[in-house]
């Protein structure tokens, strides 16, 4: 059924239309009895309800011939509308329509409040693995994917998912790009990744963006579009295979140190806050080895320059990122002190 509103035609169907139709019939029946028989509002409403539900109670008051004719019309229209409404509502509940609607509302509320999260554009082979790593480390993230089945798979795995084009600015705004920690572009093609990165960079010049590239030409384009890091899975995979063949012990150690499943040893980057108790002190003065039981593997300065295996006299400056190796609980204590202001 279609209805005309504001010069445009709309298709009227579903639970909302059914309920509206039933309410309209009840209101019409109540008004009809009040007008024809002169009854008060409650008697007219009660008569309308027992008529359209066919419960078989006796009449509230004796009906005139006109009232009887009106009752026949009300029965023919009201009973059908009531059956249609109740059947449709039962179908919605039985077939899972109601739970799905509640799930969508819950997802929308969570999208409006999520913050410090990553936006994963694409949920294919790489995107799903990235999401799996984030889940293991309890990092909040939102998936943006055009394929409905992949979005549903992400939601079933506990993620926030949106079925949309990741290159559209309204979509990025919807998934909270203004509150996001970073964006990962791993859509199906290099062209799509370029558009997604470009849109994100325009909206958030300070956002950290990582993108996948399949070709060398795409790598340069993605960097010009605004990606902070561009990763080629094929190149990294080939290097990993070569390193495993030549230095298997080194590869095993790196996998152990960087695996989120390892509970004994982890490698982490720790950012030094501007007023941290560790700022403007040397590694030896900060007593990192004795106090926290960690090894400083490297220091990344604010200009992105990396200093590997720094000497004990090396100064730690605000904004530096310490690449350290140690037990997870020690790293958490160090991370807390690195962000803590001097009292």
Structure tokens given for 40 = 């008060």
For the chain, give the mean pLDDT. Answer: 84
- The SS3 call for residue 261 is coil
Distances from the Cα of 315 to the Cα of 59, 124, 230, 283, 312, angstroms: 94, 43, 30, 6, 8
Q: Does residue 102 register a pLDDT over 80?
A: no
Per-residue pLDDT, 260: 62
- Per residue in 104-142, pLDDT tens? 777 788 888 899 999 999 999 999 999 998 998 889 999
- pLDDT of 99 reads 63
45-75 residue pLDDT tens? 988 888 887 776 777 788 888 888 888 888 8
Closest CA to 135 of 110, 162, 117: 117
Nearest Cα to 213, choosing from 120, 202, 197?
A: 197
Contact in structure between 186 and 120 (CB atoms under 8 Å): yes
Provide the pLDDT confidence category of residue 165 given band limits of 50, 70 and 90.
Answer: very high
Rounded mean pLDDT, 219-229: 93
Summarize pLDDT for 242-265 with one digit per residue, the tens.
988 998 888 887 777 776 665 577
H-type alpha helices, the chain: 14-37, 41-52, 65-94, 97-113, 125-136, 148-156, 169-174, 190-203, 216-225, 233-246, 248-258, 283-286, 288-292, 328-339
Distance of CA 209 to the CA centre of its chain: 17
Would you tell me how many other CB atoms lie within 10 Å of the CB of residue 223?
A: 15
pLDDT attached to residue 7 = 46
- By three-state DSSP, how is residue 111 classified? helix
Q: Is 248 left (phi over 0), alpha (psi -120 to 50) or beta?
A: alpha
Judge whether residue 5 has pLDDT over 60: no
Q: Are 54 and 79 contacting, i.e. CB atoms less than 8 angstroms apart? A: yes
Comparing 88-97, 187-196, 252-261, the range with the smallest average pLDDT is: 88-97
Contact indicator for 111, 160 with CB cutoff of 8 Å: yes
Q: Which residue has the tokens 């077939």?
A: 95
Q: State the first-to-last Cα distance of the chain, in angstroms, to the nearest integer.
A: 70
Domains of the chain, first to last: 2-94 (1.10.287.70), 115-237 (3.40.50.720), 248-339 (3.30.70.1450)
Top mean pLDDT of 15-24, 77-86, 221-230, 233-242 is at: 221-230
Strand, coil or helix: 264: coil
Q: What is the pLDDT of residue 322?
A: 92
- Report, as an integer, the average pLDDT of 184-197: 93
The secondary structure of 8-34 as a DSSP string is EEEE--HHHHHHHHHHHHHHHHHHHHH
Q: What is the mean pLDDT of residues 130-155?
A: 91
What are the structure tokens assigned to 14, written together? Answer: 């579903």
User: Does pTM top 0.75 for this prediction?
Assistant: no
- The answer to whether residue 216 scores a pLDDT higher than 90 is no
Whole-number pLDDT of residue 263 = 59
**Cβ atoms within 10 Å, residue 108:** 12
Strand partners, 184: 120, 210
């Amino acid at each position: 059924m279609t209805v005309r509103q504001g010069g445009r035609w709309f298709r009227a169907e579903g639970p909302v239309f059914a309920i509206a139709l039933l309410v309209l019939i009840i209101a019409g029946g109540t008004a009809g009895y009040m007008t024809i028989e002169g009854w008060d509002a409650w008697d007219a409403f009660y008569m309308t309800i027992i008529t359209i539900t066919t419960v078989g109670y006796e009449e509230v008051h004796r009906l005139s011939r006109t009232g009887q004719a009106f009752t026949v019309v009300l029965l023919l229209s009201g009973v059908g509308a009531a059956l249609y409404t109740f059947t449709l509502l039962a179908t919605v509940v039985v077939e899972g329509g109601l739970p799905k609607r509640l799930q969508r509302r819950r997802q929308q509320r969570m999208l409006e409040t999520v913050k410090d999260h990553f936006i994963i554009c694409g949920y294919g082979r790489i995107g799903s693995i990235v999401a799996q790593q984030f889940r293991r480390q309890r990092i909040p993230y939102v998936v943006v994917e055009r394929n409905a089945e992949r979005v549903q798979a992400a939601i079933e795995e506990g993620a926030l998912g949106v079925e949309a084009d990741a290159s559209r600015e309204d979509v990025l705004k919807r998934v909270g790009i203004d509150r996001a920690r970073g964006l990962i572009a791993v859509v199906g093609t290099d062209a799509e990744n370029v558009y997604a990165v470009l849109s994100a960079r325009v909206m958030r010049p300070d956002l950290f963006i990582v993108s996948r590239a399949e070709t060398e030409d795409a790598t340069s384009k993605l960097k010009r579009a605004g990606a902070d890091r561009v990763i080629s899975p094929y190149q990294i995979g080939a290097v990993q295979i070569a390193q495993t063949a030549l230095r298997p012990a080194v590869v095993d150690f790196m996998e152990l140190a960087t695996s989120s499943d390892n509970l004994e040893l982890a490698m982490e980057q720790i950012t030094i806050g501007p007023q941290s108790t560790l700022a403007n002190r040397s590694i030896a003065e900060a007593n990192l080895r004795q106090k926290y039981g960690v090894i400083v593997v490297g220091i990344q300065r604010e200009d992105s320059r990396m200093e590997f295996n720094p000497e004990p006299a090396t100064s730690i400056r605000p904004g530096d990122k310490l690449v350290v190796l140690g037990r997870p609980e020690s790293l958490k204590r160090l991370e807390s002190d690195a962000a803590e202001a001097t009292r």
